Amino acid sequence: MNDQPSPVLRVDGLKIGFGRFDAVKGISFDVNAGETVALVGESGSGKSVTALSIMRLLPETTTISGRISLSGTDMLALRGDALRGARGRLAGMIFQEPMTSLNPVLKTGFQVAEALRYHGNVSQKAAETEALRLFDRVRIPDAKRRFAEYPHTLSGGMRQRVMIAMALACRPKLLIADEPTTALDVTIQAQILQLLTELQRESGTAILFITHDMGVVAEIADRVAVMRHGELVEDGTTRSLFEAPRHDYTKALLAAVPRLGDMRGSTSPRRFAQAHAAEPVPVSEPTGSQPLLAVENLVTRFPIKAGFFGRKTGAVHAVEDVSFAVAAGETLALVGESGCGKSTTGKSLLRLVEPQSGRVTLEGVDLLASDPAVLRLARRRMQMIFQDPYGSLDPRQTIGSAIAEPIRVHGIAAGSEVDDRVATLLKRVGLDASRMARFPHEFSGGQRQRIAIARALALDPRLVIADEAVSALDVSIKAQVVDLMIDLQEAFGLSYLFISHDMAVVERVSHRIAVMYLGRIVEIGPRAAVIENPQHPYTRRLLAAVPVADPRARGRFEGVGAADELKSPIRPPGYEPPPQHFRMVTEGHLVAQEA
């Protein structure tokens, strides 16, 4: 007699087809109560499609065969109300992109309470009370105010926390987490992973964790299933897979993982190791003594208004007294938690949002004091790569047209010269020029990011602001895009303001690092100095939260930030922050005096 309990989730011989294309080819795996199984692989391997099939969220035209058993319930046999009841009660799902998963016209608190009312049969008041408790539990600062806000007013990290609260609302037997920490900075990622672990201890919830972050896998997973081209190529315990991977694909996947500390002893950025090179190729140092970009005392605030007459009740102090410089050919990384102001800083430089005060000069031109005509010319020299390439590309416009548009608008070329220039740009970023007549949805995430890079290069900029340009990419594609950006920097003398929360990538790509906290830079200096000898308590906490791709280091960031609630950047009317002073640690390494 077998005394082993039945698994919460059993997938047996699952096949998924879209027309003639087989996305998943007969995979089988189990997830037991209280167990976390990580499903890993590159984009297009079939991970997310597998998760969607468990929740029965694929289109009706999809061909699905095999068996999916969830707590003894045959999910493929459910229809109508029975299927809707199983979602949320038996399984909850955290999606990768919360902005497309949350209803833009409903307040965030209402959406979480709605799930509780539907599945829990509770009153509106009780549902709202529990939803607010969940907001606090996933560490949303100023939860009462956020409860009544719409998704578009929240940062990416905040929106993801709302999604997690919604998925946890009904205490499901299985929690499917599809890249739940991709958009989160390392400290919030650490807290969310701890939260999932605590939930698992309390209720025995089974977790299917889909991710491309092998550091997260090493930290949270009990077992790992590796997918490639719709097939399960390897399945085993986390420790055995990391220490002795059997399949060549698994070995390549682990080799592409950037690890914090790999750059110790190096003073300049380095490309990832290529197949033809035994060692990563070093990158030359930037040249020139005069800064290409100089930012002095930049301040950007957003007013908060309430009531019928729109009375100002406060302001979000997004960027406060920020100063830095970027030299020609240099990469300055801007790092910090979600909501710290780093993306707002990047947008303020381009005047995509208007700063209140400060000075921003690009090649000697004061951008904040420029009239529209001068600013238009200056923007040719400064371009931006956004975090979500699909959101920044017009889905109705071919990629060739998207890249050609700024070339025509600025009169750089005309006629057939435009097409030639577009073809050259696509080749430069590693894409086939014959695909310029295709639309964004016909490309993978990594390819769309390459298209966004090509569009940014269309105007021959001197400075590129890369806002989380590689955060959503799997490890192998991330390595390729980082190498591409370094190649372009050397070829064209580009400068980068590299905004990111991925500290391992930041270490590899940057010359200098600036650390932001609550709208202010608290530490800035050479990459090696900041990474290897952090001086500010916040910088040390940020680095301590970076997951390590080694199961033996599991638990190293337990308690990181757990005792400190995230502080809100909202201030009352008329508030002015105290002046900030820096002290010199070593040459070029500055740290704020106050902790």
Report how far residue 507's alpha carbon sits from residue 264's, in angstroms, rounded to the nearest whole number. Answer: 9
Residue 224 falls within a domain, yes or no?
yes
pLDDT at 550: 84
Q: Are 37 and 47 in contact (CB under 8 A)?
A: no
Report how far residue 150's alpha carbon sits from residue 157's, in angstroms, rounded to the nearest whole number. Answer: 14
Report how far residue 48's alpha carbon sits from residue 594's, in angstroms, rounded to the nearest whole number. Answer: 45
Three-state secondary structure readout of 55-89: CCCCCCCCEEEEEEEECCEEHHHCCHHHHHHHHHH
Residue 403 falls within a domain, yes or no?
no
Q: How many CA atoms lie within 13 A of 503 on its CB side?
A: 26
pLDDT at 240: 95
Phi-psi region of 370 (alpha: psi -120 to 50; beta: other; left: phi over 0): beta
Q: How many CA atoms lie within 13 A of 557 on its CB side?
A: 29
Report how far residue 448's alpha carbon sits from residue 311's, in angstroms, rounded to the nearest whole number. Answer: 42
Q: Are 151 and 162 in contact (CB under 8 A)?
A: yes
CA separation (Å) from 568 to 146, 157, 181?
A: 11, 14, 21
- Spell out the alpha helix ranges (H) of 263-398: 342-349, 372-379, 389-392
Residue 43 falls within a domain, yes or no?
yes
Range of the domain at 215: 9-255
* 3-class DSSP assignment, residue 4: coil
pLDDT at 283: 56
Can you give the CATH number for the domain in which 32 is found? Answer: 3.40.50.300
What angle separates helix 108-120 from helix 156-168, to the nearest 10 degrees?
Answer: 10
- Nearest one of 542, 127, 572, 119 to 333, comparing CA atoms: 542
Residue 383 falls within a domain, yes or no?
no
Three-state secondary structure readout of 367-418: CCCCCHHHHHHHHCCEEEECCCHHHHCCCCCCHHHHHHHHHHHCCCCCCHHH
pTM, entire model:
0.81
- Exposure class string for 392-422: b at 16+ Cβ within 10 A, else e: bbeeeebbbbbbbebbeeeeebeeeebeebb
Q: Please report, in tens digits, the pLDDT of each residue of the chain (595 residues total).
A: 455 678 999 999 999 999 888 999 999 999 999 999 999 988 778 998 999 999 999 988 899 999 999 999 999 999 888 888 888 888 989 887 777 789 999 999 999 999 888 887 788 999 999 999 988 887 787 888 889 999 988 876 778 889 888 888 888 899 999 888 776 777 777 877 887 888 788 778 899 999 888 888 998 999 999 999 999 999 999 999 999 999 999 998 888 787 887 788 777 788 875 433 444 555 556 655 679 999 999 999 999 887 777 788 888 899 999 999 999 999 999 998 877 899 999 999 999 999 999 999 999 999 999 999 899 889 899 999 987 787 888 999 999 999 999 999 999 888 889 999 999 999 999 899 998 999 998 887 778 889 999 999 999 999 999 998 887 777 777 888 888 999 999 999 999 999 998 888 899 999 999 999 999 999 999 999 999 999 999 999 888 888 888 888 776 655 555 434 456 788 888 788 888 889 999 889 999 986 4
Per DSSP bridges, beta strands 223-228 and 36-40 are: parallel
CA separation (Å) from 272 to 28, 41, 368, 416, 510?
A: 34, 19, 38, 37, 13
- Give the number of other CB atoms < 10 A from CB of residue 578: 6
Residue 290 falls within a domain, yes or no?
no
Residue 316 falls within a domain, yes or no?
no
DSSP assignment letter at 516: E
SS3 content of the chain, % helix, strand, coil (to 5): 35, 25, 40
Lay out the sheet containing 36-40: strands in order across.
91-94, 174-178, 206-210, 36-40, 223-228, 231-237
* 3-class DSSP assignment, residue 460: coil
pLDDT at 85: 83
Residue 492 falls within a domain, yes or no?
no
Residue 109 falls within a domain, yes or no?
yes
* 3-class DSSP assignment, residue 330: coil
Query: How many structural domains comprise the chain?
Result: 1
- Give the number of other CB atoms < 10 A from CB of residue 8: 25
pLDDT at 564: 47
Q: Are 450 and 484 in contact (CB under 8 A)?
A: yes
Report how far residue 94's alpha carbon sits from residue 470's, in angstroms, rounded to the nearest whole number. Answer: 21
pLDDT at 568: 73
In one-letter notation, the amino acid at residue 201 is R
Q: Are 528 and 263 in contact (CB under 8 A)?
A: yes
- Which value, to the nearest 10 degrees, does the dihedral of the CA atoms of residues 286, 288, 293, 295 take? 100
pLDDT at 89: 83
